[in-house]
Amino acid sequence: MGFGDEIMALGRIEALYNATGKPHSIRNKAGETRTHELWRGSPAWGKNAPEHIIDCPGARPYIKDFVSQKTTGQRIIYNHDYRARAGQIWLTDLERAFCDIDHEFAVVSPLVKDNASPNKQWGIENWEKAIENFPIPVYQLGDHGTKIIKGARHFVTPTMRLAAAVVEKASVVMTNEGGLHHLAAAMDTPAVVVFGAFIPPYLTGYSQHVNLAVETPEGFCGSWTPCQHCKNAMVQIAPDMVKEKAVALL
């Protein structure tokens, strides 16, 4: 699980804080308190607060269960009652000053983390076409070892909090469903998000974003192994579609 899950966990305790006025801790299944850099500074989070939620790898509220099948491998069974809420990330003035870009710009996040489902992959060539001749400069975030796609400029971000500072100043974010779209929601930045047919946007998407999902007779598969169903869905999302939606948000 990635930092997008931790942004949603922060959103859960924010809702409780707004309702009760009490900060909450976030714990694992053993009842041990958890910490994350993106929670730091939030009045909703109390590291050792007695009021708490369980939210951790292996206990995420949008996942009901995992099943293993001989033909499709491991697959997520979704909790279709869940709705994502992105928690506010409380940056310091010094962190905000990290982003020194003084012109309008976009952020692209084309990579899928190694332990994510391959069915989230839209394809590097598609992302390169989507940002080709984009009307404003496009930056890709990451550390020094990040593979940068053609047409993007590299903005080195050593931490997720510093990435949040860049995303906050961006005019638009273009990304697959994953950590960066949750970060964009947390920083109130417009985004175009490629969902495909792996997970439904009503679970982990946000209404203020343009969510490009593909309805299929099989639904949203949640498969952790490559499947033709997801490949067919991704083909229906054209690079020009992503570019046009992103330009419209500028």
Range of the domain at 24: 3-61
110/216 same-domain check: yes
At residue 238, the pLDDT reads 98
For residue 207, is it within any domain? Answer: yes
Q: Residue 228 carries which DSSP code?
A: H
Could you tell me if residue 38 is inside a domain?
Answer: yes
Q: How far is CA 61 from CA 11, 53, 79, 119, in A?
A: 12, 10, 7, 21
Q: Specify if 76 maps to a domain.
A: no
* Bridge pairing between strands 138-142 and 106-109: parallel
Residue 1: the pLDDT is 43
The answer on 142 and 52 residing in a single domain is no
Q: Which pLDDT score is estimated for 71?
A: 53
Residue 72 lies in a domain: no
Domain boundary among 36, 61, 86: 61
89 occurs within a structural domain: no
> Does 73 map to a domain?
no
Q: What is the CATH number of the domain that holds 120?
A: 3.40.50.2000
Note whether 101 and 35 are same-domain residues. Answer: no
The DSSP bridge partners found for residue 52 are 25
Same domain, 41 and 135: no
- The number of beta carbons lying within 10 Å of the beta carbon of residue 160 is 20
pLDDT at 69: 57
* Predicted pLDDT of residue 87: 98
Query: pLDDT tens per residue, the chain (250 residues)?
Result: 489 999 999 999 999 999 999 999 999 999 999 999 999 999 999 999 999 999 999 999 999 998 865 555 688 999 999 999 999 999 999 999 999 999 999 999 999 988 889 999 999 999 999 999 999 999 999 999 999 999 999 999 999 999 999 999 999 999 999 999 999 999 999 999 999 999 999 999 999 999 999 988 888 999 988 989 999 999 999 999 999 999 999 9
Return the SS3 of 242.
helix
pLDDT at 219: 87
Same domain, 45 and 164: no
75 within a domain of the structure (yes/no): no
Instruction: State the pLDDT at residue 157.
Output: 97
DSSP letter assigned to residue 205: -
The whole-number pLDDT of residue 70 equals 53
- How many folded domains does the chain comprise? 2
Judgement on whether residues 126 and 210 belong to the same structural domain of the protein: yes
- Gap between the Cα atoms of 124 and 147, Å rounded: 10
Whether residue 50 sits in one domain with residue 122? no
For 244-249, which contacts have Cβ atoms below 8 Å and span 24 or more sequence positions? 245/192, 245/210, 245/212, 246/106, 246/130, 246/134, 246/172, 246/174, 246/192, 246/210, 247/134, 247/135, 249/171, 249/172, 249/190, 249/191, 249/192, 249/210
